[in-house]
Amino acid sequence: MSAASTLIKFARKPRREKITSARNRLIDWGWFVPHTGNDRTAYIVGLFGTGRWYINELVLKNMGERAKNFRDEFRFHPGPTSMIYSGHATIKHACRGQGLPEVTTRILEAVNSGFADLIFACRHPLDSLLTNWVWWRTLNRHGSYAFISDKYRNEDELYAELDRNFSEFMSFAAGEPSFFAGLGGPRFLSLSEFVEEIELYSQAATLSLRLEDFMGDPLKEFHKIAKVMSVDVASSPSQIERPRTKAYRYLSVAEHVPRFRSFLDGIDAETRRRINKIGYSV
């Protein structure tokens, strides 16, 4: 589209849309950073496969005017703002697909300075492990992305594929670089590293949210986010959707795939301790 066509299209928009569009463009360019009242910059952070996008969608649909300040990226400011940033990042272990620990360090510095909040999206790490294995192996083999619910018509198909490719699964769970040989670049987190990252975030976050809790009472959990962001919301339970994924899938997988059950039994003591500490069990 030519510059003239773009200008004409903009000119034909209603005044309110023009103002919103111009405001968003100024924010994206970094020329304007909104700050209302006592707002603090909010960072919504999650590791791969923990439900971060579910939290993002709740914020975008139900957080009113402040949702206009949402960006799926990380930016940093020398003081409080009304911006909402979201992304993946790690605290200790560098890996593919996640912001480097240096990124998280800047977020934590902002939180410790009192002008930002860190909202951490968490999920049972063994459910995340299965989700991430399917996601990365599909990308590795087919060059496309897929979640468990997208790829399999039923749970039996998942059990069968895991059983057929169990050595590959073990390679992924151990964080072996060979799993990513076809993609090139760095590896993903091992299970033990993934769990350690969750423990570190749970100690540092302003608010830690468990995806499973949203399956029980999504309105209650959503209001925790609104409180941290100092936003008054009036939402009924019907407006706050539950996550579409399955909770504690790893338990049913263990029942149907004996080698996966053996894998759970072999999880080391330190990783088990960390899983228990963050409120889950094996």
pLDDT (tens digit, 9 = 90+) per residue, 68-86? 999 999 999 999 999 999 9
pLDDT at 19 over 60: no
pLDDT (tens digit, 9 = 90+) per residue, 198-215? 999 999 999 999 999 999
pLDDT (tens digit, 9 = 90+) per residue, 136-162? 999 888 788 888 988 899 999 999 999
Share of the chain above pLDDT 70, in %: 88
Structure tokens at 5: 């066509």
Identify the structural domains of the chain with CATH numbers, from first to last: 32-124+191-239 (3.40.50.300), 126-189+245-277 (no CATH)
pLDDT at 16: 58
Q: Beta strand 207-210 with 84-87: parallel, antiparallel or unpaired? A: unpaired
pLDDT at 20: 59
CA 127 to chain CA centroid, Å, is: 14
Give the DSSP letter of residue 113: T
Positions of E strands within the chain: 41-46, 70-71, 84-87, 116-122, 207-210
CA angle in degrees (0–180, nearest 5) for 138-142-146: 35
Least confident of 6-20, 28-42, 225-239: 6-20
Helix 269-277 to helix 191-204 angle (10° resolution) is: 30
How confident is residue 15, by pLDDT bands cut at 50, 70 and 90? low
pLDDT at 82: 97
Mean pLDDT value across residues 169-174 = 97
Higher pLDDT, 6 or 222: 222
pLDDT at 13 over 90: no
* Contact of 89 with 103, CB cutoff 8 Å: yes
Q: Name the pTM for this structure.
A: 0.88
Give the DSSP letter of residue 149: H
* Contact of 82 with 40, CB cutoff 8 Å: no
How confident is residue 17, by pLDDT bands cut at 50, 70 and 90? low
Spatial distance between the Cα atoms of 157 and 7, rounded to a whole number of angstroms: 52
CA angle in degrees (0–180, nearest 5) for 111-46-41: 30
pLDDT at 270: 98
Share of the chain above pLDDT 90, in %: 77
pLDDT at 11: 60
Q: Residue 122 half-sphere exposure, CB side, CA atoms within 13 Å?
A: 25
pLDDT at 237 over 60: no
* Contact of 209 with 224, CB cutoff 8 Å: yes
pLDDT at 184: 83
pLDDT (tens digit, 9 = 90+) per residue, 35-51? 999 999 999 999 999 99
Higher pLDDT, 125 or 3: 125
Higher pLDDT, 92 or 19: 92
* 155: phi then psi, degrees, rounded to nearest 5: -65, -30
